[in-house]
Structure 1
Amino acid sequence: MAKKGSVFGNLRQLDGYAKTLDDFRVKTTTGASVTLLSTLIILTLVCFELMAYTTPIWRPSLVVDQSRKEKMAINFNITFPHMPCHLLNVDIMDDTGEHSSGYSQDVTKVRLDLSGKEIELGETVKLGDNTKDVVKALGTQKECGSCYGAVSLREDGCCNTCQDVREAYVKAGWGMVNVNIIDQCIAEGWIDRVQKRSNEGCNVFGNLWVNKVRGNFHFAPGEAFQTSSMHIHDLKEFSDGAPDGHQFDLSHIIHKLKFGPDTHLTSEAISAATDPLAGTTKTAHQARVMYQYFLKIVSTKLEPMHDIPTFTNQFSVTENDIVMTETMSGLPGAFFNIDISPMQITYKESRKSFGSFLTSVLAIVGGVFTVAGLIDRVVYRAEKAYKKKLEMGKTL
C-alpha cells in the first residue's frame, strides 16, 4: 500500500489544476454576476456556432467552360399589359447565322384584358396560331385558295386562310399583304377581329432552345421576314391608321427569365444571380420604345453533397431604353442580347466537420471563462483595495 501511495503521491505533482481549500474560497455578488453573464455569452456563441455547423456553404471555383457546343434553354414569363397577342412575335438570332422568326415551339401566349385577367374565349393560344377562333372560310371548299403570287407553305400549295397568305408573303420576304383586298382575310373578318382585340394585353411564357453563342431573342410587333442579310418586321399593318390604331406600347413585366433548367439546389444568393430580372417592370411613357437588355451569361455547375450535380447559368444585366423616332433605324420591342462567357463557375457544397465544430465550442467555453476569470479577479482586488482605504479613512 505504501508503494502504491508513493506512486500516486508522485503523480499528484503533475496536476496542472491545483485546487484551493474551500475555506480559502470567497464567493461574491460580483463573481456571481460575471458567471451568469459569461454563461449567457457562451450559450449565445455556441448557438451561432451550431447554426454555422448545420448550414451548408457553397464554395465557388472558376474553370474553363467545356459545354460551348451544347444548346441552352431559356425559361421566360413576360407580360405585356397593353400589347395584343396577335401583334407579338418572338424571334431568335445568333452569330452562327441561324435565324428563327415567329418562334412558336414550346411558347404560349395568353390573352389578357386591360385589368390583367385572362380572357375566357381563346385565352391560351400558341404563338403564330392566329386562327384558333377564326372560321377558315375557304378551308372546306374544294378549290385551292390563291397565294397572290407567293409560294404557299402548305403541302397542297394552297392558301385557304388569311394566315396562309400572310405566312407565304413573310416567307417570300415581301412583307405583309393588304388585308383589305385579300379574299380570305375579308371572308374571315380579319379586320373586325383585329379591332376587337386592340384593347388587350398578352402574357407570353415558355421555353426557347438556342445555340450557346452570342445572339439575341426579342419580342416585337409585326410579322418578321428575312431579306438579304436584314431581319425586318413589317409594321405597316399596325402603324398609324391601322385597323386597331395601336401605338406600340411595349410596357412589360418580367416575371421570370432563366437560362438553363430550374433547380431547387441554389441558395438565395445563387437564385438572385440566375434570375436577376425577376420582378422588373418597364412602363412606356411614349410610343415606339426599344427596350434593350445586355446579358452576360456564365455557365454554373452546382455540386451538392448528397445529390447529383446540376448545370444552370447565372448572368449580369445592363439595361438601355431608346425612344424611336422616324429618322432612327430599329423597331419597338424588348430585346435580350446574349453574350456567353468562356468560363464556368463551379459551386461545391460543403459543411464544417464535427471536429472543427467541437474545437470551436471548446475554444468558446475556455476563452470566455478565462476572460471572465480575469475580469472577476480585477474587480475583486479593486473592491478589496477600496474597502481597505475606507477602513484607513483615506477616501474622500
Structure 2
Amino acid sequence: MSKKGSVFGNLRQLDGYAKTLDDFRVKTTTGASVTLISALIILSLVCSELIAYTTSTWRPSLVVDKSRKEKMPINFNITFPHMPCHILNIDIMDDTGEHSSGYSQDITKVRLDLSGREIELGESVTLGDPSKGVNKALQSKKECGSCYGATPLRDSKCCNTCQEVREAYVKMGWGMVNVDVIDQCIAEGWKDRVEKQSNEGCNIYGHLLVNKVRGNFHFAPGDAFQANNMHVHDLKEFVKGAPDGHKFDLSHTIHKLKFGPDAKDETETILAVTDALAGTEKNANQARVVYQYFLKIVSTQLRPIKGIPTFTNQYSVTQNDNFMKETATGLPGVFFNMDISPMQITYKETRKSLGSFLTGVLAIIGGVFTVAGLLDRVVYRAEKAYKKKVEMGKTL
C-alpha cells in the first residue's frame, strides 16, 4: 500500500458515521411507526418554534422616572345627569402651591336633557369662550360694561357680559353677584336662562395639563373663590335646588379618564392599564356627597421594535364615597386625588434572533431522531429476543 493510501486508511478510523452493510439493513413495521410518530412530533415542534420566532414579546423593566419636570396631560369625559352645566366647575390643586379655580381652557360642556340626549338649543358650549352661548348685549352697543368694583379679567378692562362680572367677583373673593341688579345679567336674561336649564344634565369633556406632582382636580358645584386663604365654593344655588323644588346631585358616569395620550393599538392597551375608571357609574341618593378617587399613577414607556416609543401613564384606583349630613361642613364634589410614582415601567418589545431559531430547529430534529432511534433499537431487540424464545419453545 502506498503512503498516500495508508494516510487515508488511518483517516477512515475517525469516521463517526460508520456505514452498515446492506445485508444487515432490516426494515420493520415498528420502525416505520416510530419514524412516522417522530416526524409528526418534529413537525409540530418546528411549527411551535416558528410561531415563537415570528411572535414578539414585551419585557417589562423598572427604572427611575426622569420626566418629573414635564407636564402631564389628563383626558376625561364625564356625564353628570342631574347637574346643569352652569353650576359645574373644575378646580386644580397640587403640592407646588399652584391652584386653578374654574379651569376652562380646552374644556367643553354639553347640555343634556333628562334622558341623556344633547339639547339642540344649547349645543356644545366651550367654557371661557364668551362668543358661544352668551348674548353680548352691551358689546353690541360698543360700550364698556362696569365690573361693579371688581378688577376685570380681560385686557379690555371691561365686563361686557354677565359671566365676566361673575368671574371678576369670584377672582376677587367676593362670592357671587346678584343677577337681579347687574345690568349685563338683566340684558342677557341670565336668571330666566338659568331657570330654564335647571332640569338638565351635563356632559363635560376635554383635557387638563398639570404638574407631575401630588395633587388633585375636582368637579364641584358653584363658582370657586379664595376667602381668608381658603378655597371656597358658592353652594347657594346647588343647595337651593331648581325652581320647581327638585334637588341637584352629583351622580356621574366616567366614560374616560386617561393620563397621557391614547394607546395606538390593542397590544398597548392590554399591556398598560391606562383607563381603569372607564365605565364607572355612581348614583347619589342625596345632594351632599363627596366622591373620592385615590389614583396611584405610574409613568409607562412602550418601546416597539419598529416605530417611535410611546409615553403614557397607567394607574390603579381606590374609591371612597362619603355621604355628608345636612348640617356637616365640607365641599360636595367628585375628587380625583393623584399620587405620582417616582418610578417608570418600560415595556420593550423583543423577538428571537434567526440564529436562535435555527439552533432550536436543529436541536429538535436531532433530539427527536436520537430518542426515536434508541426507542426503535430497544423495541427491535425485544421483538428479536421474543421471537427467538418462541422458536426455542421457551414461551408460556
- TM-score w.r.t. length of structure 2: 0.84
Identity %: 78
Structure 2 residue ranges without an equivalent (≥5) = none
Compute the displacement of 1:162 (Å): 2.3
C-alpha distance in structure 2 between counterparts of 1:276 and 1:344, whole Å: 18
Amino acid in the other structure paired with 2:226: Q
The one-character-per-residue Cα deviations of 1:155-190 (angstroms, maximum 9, x if unpaired) are 455444321232122112122234345443344333
The one-character-per-residue Cα deviations of 1:129-177 (angstroms, maximum 9, x if unpaired) are 5773343333334665454454433445544432123212211212223
Structure 1 stretch displaced more, 378-387 or 113-122: 378-387
Residues 84 and 198 of structure 2 are in contact (CA less than 8 Å); yes or no, is this contact kept in structure 1? yes
Task: Look up the match of 1:40.
Answer: 40
Compute the displacement of 1:303 (Å): 3.5
C-alpha distance in structure 1 between counterparts of 2:386 and 2:104, whole Å: 89
Amino acid in the other structure paired with 1:230: M
Task: Look up the match of 1:315.
Answer: 315
Residues 192 and 308 of structure 1, relative CA distance in 2, 3 Å threshold: same
Amino acid in the other structure paired with 1:316: S
Amino acid in the other structure paired with 2:104: S
Compute the displacement of 1:50 (Å): 2.1
Amino acid in the other structure paired with 1:43: L
Task: Look up the match of 2:96.
Answer: 96
Task: Look up the match of 1:132.
Answer: 132
Alignment length, in residue pairs?
395
Task: Look up the match of 2:196.
Answer: 196
Task: Look up the match of 1:165.
Answer: 165
C-alpha distance in structure 2 between counterparts of 1:272 and 1:57, whole Å: 14
C-alpha distance in structure 1 between counterparts of 2:81 and 2:28, whole Å: 74
Amino acid in the other structure paired with 1:109: K
Residues 144 and 160 of structure 2 are in contact (CA less than 8 Å); yes or no, is this contact kept in structure 1? yes
3-state DSSP of counterpart to 1:68: coil
3-state DSSP of counterpart to 2:16: coil
C-alpha distance in structure 1 between counterparts of 2:5 and 2:106, whole Å: 88
Compute the displacement of 1:110 (Å): 2.6
3-state DSSP of counterpart to 1:342: strand
C-alpha distance in structure 2 between counterparts of 1:131 and 1:326, whole Å: 39
Task: Look up the match of 1:364.
Answer: 364
| 1:305-384 map, 5 Å | 305-381=305-381
Task: Look up the match of 1:185.
Answer: 185
The one-character-per-residue Cα deviations of 1:277-314 (angstroms, maximum 9, x if unpaired) are 33333343544332222222223334433334443323
Structure 1 residue ranges without an equivalent (≥5) = none
Compute the displacement of 1:30 (Å): 4.0
Residues 257 and 7 of structure 1, relative CA distance in 2, 3 Å threshold: farther
3-state DSSP of counterpart to 2:273: helix
The one-character-per-residue Cα deviations of 1:337-371 (angstroms, maximum 9, x if unpaired) are 11122223333333222111211222222223333
Residues 238 and 244 of structure 1 are in contact (CA less than 8 Å); yes or no, is this contact kept in structure 2? no
Amino acid in the other structure paired with 2:341: S
Residues 241 and 247 of structure 2 are in contact (CA less than 8 Å); yes or no, is this contact kept in structure 1? no
Compute the displacement of 1:318 (Å): 2.0
| 1:111-130 map, 5 Å | 111-129=111-129
| 1:257-276 map, 5 Å | 257-264=257-264, 267-268=267-268, 271-276=271-276
Compute the displacement of 1:95 (Å): 0.9
Residues 172 and 301 of structure 1, relative CA distance in 2, 3 Å threshold: same
- TM-score w.r.t. length of structure 1: 0.84
Residues 239 and 245 of structure 1 are in contact (CA less than 8 Å); yes or no, is this contact kept in structure 2? no
3-state DSSP of counterpart to 2:284: coil
Amino acid in the other structure paired with 1:175: G
Residues 357 and 141 of structure 1, relative CA distance in 2, 3 Å threshold: same
C-alpha distance in structure 1 between counterparts of 2:248 and 2:390, whole Å: 90
Residues 285 and 364 of structure 1, relative CA distance in 2, 3 Å threshold: farther
The one-character-per-residue Cα deviations of 1:89-136 (angstroms, maximum 9, x if unpaired) are 121111111111111112222333444443333422212457733433
